[in-house]
Amino acid sequence: MDYQKWVEIIGPYSNAVEELKIKFRNIRKEYLDMGQHSPIEFVTGRTKKISSIMAKMKKLDTKNIEEDIEDIAGIRLMCQFVEDIYTIVDIVKKRTDMRIINEKDYINNSKESGYRSYHLIIMYPINTIEGYREVQCEIQIRTLAMNFWATIEHSLKYKYDHYIPDDLATRLKRAADAAFRLDQEMGEIREEIIKAQELFTEKEYATTDA
């Protein structure tokens, strides 16, 4: 397939990513405007690289890009607390502008590697000059600790071409469990942290006004 064809395939997914980034950032803004803790700390998004799409097609032994590659459009939502992840899932479930077609709970069922995240596969409607259609998009929801671990593990996977040596993999697994214990500890003092953050924000405004 030539480059122009790839650009045409990826274009609608790129539109979806841009729109979804704005929508999730607005959810954060709404919470902050109401003086409340936001379950979304920050939002990132990307379209999958052509080389990664091709590698995944090979892995899945498919030629059907649009149906079988779920994460051409990918959104990542980072949270402070594990509880926030489920709040976001509920928010997405209630929205009328996106439709969940699959859910993967890698928090209660962590992957062999130690990977934890909550994945939602959604169908998202877009309007292009060619008309209306829906595109698949993967939303990964994770805590800051889960994100720290996944980012590091991802670069190691890249370095070792997906075959991380056993001793390193064991250490990574231990690190993933430690990150999860950190999340659990933070979860225990969640209310205390949120109150402190609210105070901190008020103080910041007071300083700005002065």
Q: Are 82 and 187 in contact (CB under 8 A)?
A: yes
Distance from C-alpha of 81 to C-alpha of 36, rounded to nearest angstrom: 14
In the complex, the smallest distance separating the C-beta of residue 127 from ligand 0O2, rounded to whole angstroms, is 26
Question: Which residue lies nearer to ligand 0O2 by CB, 52 or 197?
Answer: 52
| DSSP secondary structure letters along 34-64 | TT---S--EEEEEEPPHHHHHHHHHHHT-S-
Question: Which residue lies nearer to ligand 0O2 by CB, 16 or 38?
Answer: 16
Question: Which residue lies nearer to ligand 0O2 by CB, 71 or 84?
Answer: 71
- Marked catalytic residue, from 19, 70, 138, 153: 138
- Residues binding ligand 0O2 (CB under 6 A): 48, 52, 56, 71, 104, 111, 113, 115, 119, 150, 153-154
In the complex, the smallest distance separating the C-beta of residue 7 from ligand 0O2, rounded to whole angstroms, is 19
Instruction: Give CA separation, 63 vs 14, 47, 53, 149, in Å.
Output: 20, 18, 11, 32
Distance from C-alpha of 65 to C-alpha of 54, rounded to nearest angstrom: 9
In the complex, the smallest distance separating the C-beta of residue 62 from ligand 0O2, rounded to whole angstroms, is 11
Q: How is residue 148 annotated by DSSP?
A: H
Q: Which residues, at least 6 apart from 138, have a Cβ–Cβ distance to it below 8 Å?
A: 70, 71, 73, 74, 75, 119, 120, 121
Whether 191 sits among the annotated catalytic residues: the reply is: no
Question: Which residue lies nearer to ligand 0O2 by CB, 93 or 111?
Answer: 111
Question: Which residue lies nearer to ligand 0O2 by CB, 108 or 208?
Answer: 108
In the complex, the smallest distance separating the C-beta of residue 111 from ligand 0O2, rounded to whole angstroms, is 5
In the complex, the smallest distance separating the C-beta of residue 59 from ligand 0O2, rounded to whole angstroms, is 7
Q: Are 108 and 118 in contact (CB under 8 A)?
A: no
Kindly list the catalytic residues.
Answer: 138
